[in-house]
Amino acid sequence: MINTLFTIQPFTLAFVIGTYLAALWLYRRTKLNLLHPVFTSILVVIGVLLLLNVEYAAFEQGSFLIDFMLGPSVVALGFGLYEQVHLIRKNLLSILTAISIGSIVGIVSVVFIARWMGADETVVASLEPKSVTTPIAIGISARFGGLPPLTAVIVVVTGVFGAVVGPFVMDKTGITSKIARGLAMGSSSHGAGTARAIEMGAVQGAISGLSIGLMGVATAIMVPLLRLIIK
């Protein structure tokens, strides 16, 4: 009965959106980064599904529209890029350099840490694209022998963690440049990080959105190259 209920799209949409709005209200009242609405919503939704023993297939069917809207929402980031195109052109070399170095450091660091902790090559391959948006990360993972479901989970965890912790770390380390903050959020925490960057300001949001695409391209290029070097 409960699984059938969650296959009904209006019900599931109301549940997910209502959970997010409640989490957003809590976040705005408390101003605690740890209670970021995306992070809180994920925990609540997972908790409810586990408590009610709802099958993932049922929830997936009922939340189809949310999944579908991910595409248009990413395209909508292009408007912010258009508004900041002059700033992007002026700092293009710095942006490309930061993305390239960030991609290399992100891949190499997770490979060495995973191997140091005894992870096998399948897990390593699943972790390599952790800082890339989910569709690209899954493709890279599958290409090099990783586990796409594990990669998807790691990408979500990375994004939410970055969205929650990123602003705090940058504040404490004295990073005040709007471009640098946008680059950091988008290149390390993709969609969730960009949502947080948009809250910081228009420039941070636009640069973060740009970083999602550039980081995806850079990682897709760097992973096979670095696999030839790091054996």
Give me the mean pLDDT over the 69-76 stretch.
69
pLDDT given for residue 19 in this prediction: 93
Fill in the amino acid letter for 114: A
179: amino acid identity, one letter: I
139 or 77, which is more confident: 139
Listing DSSP states for 81-140 in one string gives: HHHTHHHHHHTHHHHHHHHHHHHHHHHHHHHHHHHHTT--HHHHHHHTTTTS-HHHHHHH
- 196 burial via Cβ count (<10 Å: 0-12, 13-18, 19+): buried
Tell me the H-state helices in the chain: 2-6, 9-30, 37-51, 56-62, 64-68, 70-83, 85-90, 92-116, 121-127, 134-143, 148-172, 178-200, 202-229
Amino acid identity of residue 89, one-letter, is: R
* Residue range 35-62, pLDDT digits in tens: 878 778 888 988 988 888 888 788 878 8
Q: What is the pLDDT of residues 84-139, one digit of tens each?
A: 888 888 888 888 998 888 888 888 888 898 889 888 888 888 888 888 887 788 88
For the segment 18-31, what is each residue's pLDDT rounded down to a tens digit?
999 998 899 888 87
Higher pLDDT, 181 or 3: 181
Q: What confidence score (pLDDT) does residue 21 get? A: 92
**Residue 59 structure tokens:** 């929830």
For the chain, the average pLDDT equals: 84
Which pLDDT tens digit goes with each residue over 142-201? 888 888 888 888 888 888 888 888 888 888 888 888 888 988 888 888 777 888 888 888
Side-chain half-sphere CA neighbours of 95 within 13 A: 25
